[in-house]
């Protein structure tokens, strides 16, 4: 008896357009999820670009400090080298991003790190 009523109820629901409403509701939820995912992806891309811009600022500021004979620790040099890697990686992955602004600064920082820390550590060991 219950099975008969269930089939009758399902038949009424499908014939009345109830099923199409449910299907439409499901598709709407899927579209909303896609829209939310796009917003998340856009936000993630914006954050990655911000990190690259921040790394670029760190690189340029650090290089200015070197030109003004400001002392920096080995750890600060290493952090700036990580910023250079972050910036370079982002530029390679995003060719339309304003690039080329840190080429000379990055090379100067690497040269100074080599001169100040690598060579001095080798000299101390000798």
Q: Is the pLDDT of residue 13 over 70?
A: no
Q: Which residue in 96, 92, 98, 31 sits closest to 60, CA to CA?
A: 98
Say what the pTM is: 0.67
| Confidence (pLDDT) at 50 | 92
The total domain count for the chain is 1
Residue 1 DSSP label: -
Segment 108-124, tens digit of pLDDT: 999 999 988 776 665 55
Domain that holds residue 7: 2-125
Segment 66-121, tens digit of pLDDT: 999 999 999 999 999 999 999 999 999 998 888 778 999 999 999 999 988 776 66
What average pLDDT does this structure show over 47-59? 94
Residues 19/13, Cβ–Cβ less than 8 Å: yes
Residues 52/97, Cβ–Cβ less than 8 Å: yes
């Amino acid at each position: 008896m219950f099975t008969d009523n269930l089939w009758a109820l399902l038949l009424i629901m499908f014939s009345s357009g109830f099923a199409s409403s449910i299907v439409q509701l499901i598709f709407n939820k899927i579209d909303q999820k896609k829209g939310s995912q796009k917003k998340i992806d856009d936000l993630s891309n914006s954050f990655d670009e911000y990190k690259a811009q921040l790394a670029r600022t760190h690189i340029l500021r650090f290089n200015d400090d070197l030109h003004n004979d400001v002392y920096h620790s080995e750890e600060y040099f290493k952090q700036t080298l990580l910023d250079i890697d972050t910036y370079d990686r982002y530029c390679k992955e995003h060719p339309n991003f304003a690039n080329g602004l840190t080429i000379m600064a990055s090379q100067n920082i690497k040269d100074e790190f080599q001169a100040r820390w690598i060579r001095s550590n080798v000299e101390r060991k000798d």
